[in-house]
Structure 1
Amino acid sequence: MSSSQPATVTVVSAESVYRKVFFRIVPFLMLLWIVAWIDRVNIGFVKLRMLDDLGWSEAIYGLGAGIFFIGYFLFEVPSNLLLQKIGAKKTIMRITLGWGAVSILMMFATTPELFYVLRFLLGVFEAGFYPGIILYLTYWFPANRRAKAFGMFMSASAFAGVIGGPIAGWIMTSMGGVWGLAEWQWVFIIEGIPSIILGIVTLFYLTDRPHHAKWLTAAERAFVQSELDNEEHAENKQHSMLGALKGKTIWLFILIFFCIIAANSSLTFYGPTLVANVGVTDPLAVGWIMAGINLLGAAGMISAGFISDRTGESRIQTSISAALGALGLAGAALLIPVSPIGAIACLALALIGTMSAIPVFWQMPNRFLIGAAAAGGVALINSIANLAGFFAPTMLGSLKDQTGSLAPGLFIVAGVEILATILILALVPKFRETGKTTTVPVSTRDAADAAEVNVVEVQA
């Protein structure tokens, strides 16, 4: 007689599994977002010399800075749908190589027309990266662990300010005239090269889905996939992109994020100008001041993500953060002619509040969208809302030309951002994450890889 073999039980620590996933994926995505953000916003530092060299007005700069988001808007949804079809690593590689090449070509932007074309193309190539990463992280983290991953990834934009500001300042004070090129041209060249390198690395480093992850054990892959599968079948989530578009919820989130991005883009493209307007004229000093402010913004984003994951709450957090951003913008507008230190402190408050709102905001639409609705919906929210990145800098540049001051534009942007707080508190339903999976059967896909594993026990 043959005796039956007892089932083998593999004990998996949930914290250990997600820690492994986190450190494998998130730091690399942060690095990609740092170089993307630097290539997107280095125009804010380059402006301090480029406008004088070329004889351009603030209106030309504002339109060029903002036209990036038109290309971004037009190509973002198709890019995210392509990511779902062909995978993350191919899509992200294409995006990274494209924006790196265009960033380097910005050195030739010596006429307003070419400036507009290249900024538009930069938006075209970067389109899909940010919402693609938001979607990609939903492939790896369930909702109750997602805000921390979002917060860490998105904090890279603040770290880009910490790194990019001093680098741009150093280039602009030391590279002028080298090989016959202006200092602002060197900023585009030096800061575009890392994107090309990282685009190639992406193809070999990233893993599309958990069941492809050879760096996880079979039991770990089964556990992660099972948690995600359980979440996908939640009854309160919209699976159809068409169904999501017919409802009011996705349009509400577009309007809320539009208000937040109006403030974020204003601070991004005009933060260095504000610092210069209160009397700091050395580009390197401006870079270091913006670095310190962005470091505080990064701390705010990371803290917001951790708090949201711990409490399961996103609605109140997002609304409070947006309100702080609005308060900082209004305070900076009031203090520019009165107190340089006060204006810079308010700029820091505005950046902390606005940036802290962003990672926690994404928890709200992800409560309602899954599958194709998530792929298209996240991209649609981000692409339409990011049109604020066109309108806000364009408006600020035009008003600064007319009035000679940033204050009127900053007051308008503060009013737009406080609208986000009102919309969230008045219209977004309350939601709190409850319940955790404790026992997960190994999927048949992983059973083929590890036949001896029958049950995965999850340790909290």
Structure 2
Amino acid sequence: MVSDSTGRDTIKRVYWRLMPFLILCYIVAFLDRVNVGFAALHMNADLGFTAYVYGFGAGIFSIGYFVFEVPSNLALHKVGARIWIPRIMITWGLISAGFAFVYNENSFYVMRFLLGAAEAGFFPGIVFYLSKWFPSRMLGSATAVFILGLPVSVLIGAPVSTALLETMGGVAGLRNWQWMFLVEGGLAVVVGIIAYGVLTRGPEEARWLTDEQRDWLVRTLAAERAAKEQVKSYGVLETLMSGKVLLLAFAIFCNIGALFGVTLWMPQIIKGFGGLSNTQAGLLTAVPYFCAGAAMVLNGWHSDRTEERRFHILIPACIGGLGLAMAGFSQSPLAGMIAICVGASGILASNILFWPLPSLFLTGAAAAAGIALVNSVGNLGGFVGPYINGWAKDYFGDYSASMCVLGGMVALYGVVIFAFLSSRARPLAQAAPPFAPHYQTKAE
């Protein structure tokens, strides 16, 4: 017999050992992915980039990400997170710092592609890594806490990036946006080095757990893996061709397309509301993500309390889509800010309930491959979304058409997941509510 307190104490210790540092890693990762949006307020004029050039270059990150995502996650499964996550972070930090030396559109395209290739595997790698530490009924909660690093990264990154842009121009003969890339890329390298000492391959090697806690966690996770594989054991190739996996990939493609279509253009969209300086637009970028963070927590909490998933994805997604469309047609800064806050909140509040889904029916290398495929295809939306905004801005002179398209994408994501959970995935969703705490009290 294993006491209920053993389960609670074990999960609590794992949370406090791993989650703060993993959130820090995600904050640094996302900041290096989107800081180009802040740099664009100055860099585009310095280098003569049109909206089309910037939108294409910002989005090409996702092509590199797509190409290397699955191989990267399979490598993580083989060599372990302690080696592979620091490798990813150090590589992308060096490349991010290298943006300081971009000098024309071709060099911009190449560096964005390389940044995507370097970061490939980080997010799905962490999601897979969490599945090796948290039982299914706690995995959704852990994943949700980790994803909160996304809005926090912009909340922190907006004032930090803006401060660097305002104060570092001309120092050592470099422009302000060059210093921003150097400082924030260097931070990723430092955190990557620290990660090697913090991360552990799995619970079996966790010397910071007691023998009883380690035994409870290893037994619980092993029992869950056996139960999943008894229902159906997926091979890697079978996973990559699975209809369930491909449908999830299409759905998150729509969500991420809207997310990055807005995120990478956010400072410029906000400045376009009228009457704002670069500094004001940069600082105001934090506001939609503050609202989104609150919406993520509230939606996750209410979904847990009601044990309902479908409408907690569909309704925020549709509201978010409406908010984006309204932002494209807003005629005043206040109305525009309210609309963009609604849009960002809807995208992220619906996104946070998505990521536990693949791990409900995939294990081992199949889980690594499946999560990576879903995320890599999804991140192609990170090319389409920014590209649509850049093309529309040059062609129409504003963002109204593109914001309607992005709004439609996030609403479609909600509809697809609603249908998915209503039919083939309903038993999985009901069997393991993403946010419902549960502890195994009896050793198998």
**TM-score range with shorter-chain normalisation?**
over 0.9
1:185 corresponds to which of 178, 201, 206: 178
Report what 1:105 is aligned to.
Answer: 98
Note the residue ranges of structure 2 that are not aligned, 5 or more in a row. 433-437
The aligned counterpart of 1:323 is: 318
Q: Name the aligned partner's letter for residue 333 of structure 2.
A: P
- Asked if the contact 1:314–1:361 (Cα under 8 Å) also holds between the matched residues in 2, the reply is no
Amino acid across the alignment from 2:246: W
How far does residue 399 in structure 1 lie from its aligned partner after superposition? 1.1
Work out whether residues 156 and 298 of structure 1, in 8 Å CA contact, stay in contact via their aligned partners in 2: no
* Residues in 1 aligned to 2:4 and 2:313: alpha-carbon distance in whole angstroms: 37
| 2:151 corresponds to | 158
TM-superposed CA distance for 1:333, in Å, is 1.4
Partner of 2:8: 15
Query: 1:410–1:237: structure 2 CA closer, same or farther, 3 Å change rule?
Result: farther
2:414 is aligned with 1:421 = yes
2:66–2:120 contact (8 Å) kept in structure 1 = yes
Looking at structure 1, the residues matched to 375 and 233 of structure 2 have their Cα atoms a distance apart, in angstroms, of: 18
Q: Which residue of 1 aligns with 2:431?
A: 433
Paired position in structure 1 for 2:83: 90
Q: Deviations over 1:391-434 (max 9, x none)?
A: 11112101100111011100011112211122122233322136
- Residue 67 of structure 2 aligns with an amino acid whose one-letter code is L
Cα shift at 1:49:
0.9
CA distance in 2, matches of 1:309, 1:212: 32
Structure 2 SS opposite 1:82: helix
Aligned to 2:244: 249
| Alpha-carbon separation, structure 2, partners of 1:348 and 1:283 | 19
Distance 1:385 1:366 in 2: 16
The number of residues matched between the two structures is 432
Distance apart, 1:318 and its partner CA: 2.0
Q: Which amino acid aligns with 1:440?
A: A
* SS at structure 2 position matched to 1:388: helix
| Aligned equivalent of 1:360, options 353, 356, 363 | 353
For residues 223 and 304 of structure 1, the distance between their equivalents in structure 2, rounded to whole angstroms, comes to: 31
The correspondence for 1:287, drawn from 275, 282, 288, is 282
What's the % identity of the aligned pairs?
A: 38
Q: Relative to 1, partners in 2 of residues 1:426 and 1:49: Cα closer, same or farther, differing over 3 Å? A: same
Relative to its length, the structure with more helix (as a share) is 2
C-alpha distance 309-363 of structure 1, shift in aligned 2 (>3 A): farther
1:451 corresponding residue in structure 2: none
The answer to whether the 8 A contact 2:255-2:351 is kept is: yes
For residues 258 and 169 of structure 1, do their structure 2 counterparts lie closer, same or farther at Cα, with a shift above 3 Å needed? same
Name the SS of the counterpart of 2:134 in structure 1: coil
Q: What is the TM-score with the length of structure 2 in the denominator?
A: 0.93
CA distance 1:270–1:238, shift in 2 (3 Å) = farther
Instruction: Find 2:56's aligned residue among 63, 71, 81.
Output: 63
Deviation at 1:241? 2.0
Query: 1:372 corresponds to which residue?
Result: 365
Distance 2:401 2:156 in 1: 30
In the alignment, the residues of structure 1 paired with residue 201 and residue 11 of structure 2 have an alpha-carbon distance, to the nearest angstrom, of 16
* Greater Cα radius of gyration, structure 1 or 2: 1
Q: Is the 8 A contact 1:73 1:386 kept in 2?
A: yes
Specify every segment of 5 or more residues in structure 1 that has no aligned partner in the other structure, as ranges. Answer: 1-7, 442-460
SS state of the match for residue 387, structure 1?
Answer: helix
Shift of 1:384: 0.9
Match of 1:346 among 339, 342, 345: 339
Contact between 1:10 and 1:219, CA under 8 Å: does it hold in 2?
A: no
From 232, 255, 264, the counterpart of 1:260 = 255
Cα pair 1:71 1:123 within 8 Å, conserved: yes
TM-aligned CA distance change 1:31 to 1:147, over 3 Å: same
Kindly state the Cα deviation for residue 199 of structure 1 after the two structures are TM-superposed.
0.9
**Cα distance, 1:341 vs. partner?**
0.7
Stretches (4+) displaced over 6 A: 8-11
Cα 1:310–1:207, aligned 2, differ >3 Å: closer, same or farther?
farther
Matched, 1:31 2:29: no
Rounded to whole Å, the distance in 1 between the matches of 2:167 and 2:159 is: 12
Report the residue type matching 1:20 in the other structure. R
Query: Which secondary structure does the structure 2 equivalent of 1:397 belong to?
Result: helix
Supply the distance in 1 between the matched residues of 2:443 and 2:285 (Cα, whole angstroms). Answer: 47
Q: Deviations over 1:48-102 (max 9, x none)?
A: 1111111110011001100101110010100100111000010001000001000
Q: Which piece of structure 1 moves more, 253-262 or 12-21?
A: 12-21
Tell me which amino acid in the other structure corresponds to 2:145.
M
**What SS does the aligned partner of 1:301 have?**
helix
Q: Secondary structure at the match of 2:148?
A: helix
Match of 1:405 in 2: 398
SS of residue in 2 equivalent to 1:386: helix
Paired amino acid for 1:188: F
> 1:203-248 deviations in whole A, cap 9, x for unaligned?
1111110111011001101111122112112244543222223431
Compute the RMSD of aligned alpha carbons.
Answer: 1.8
Shift of 1:26: 0.8
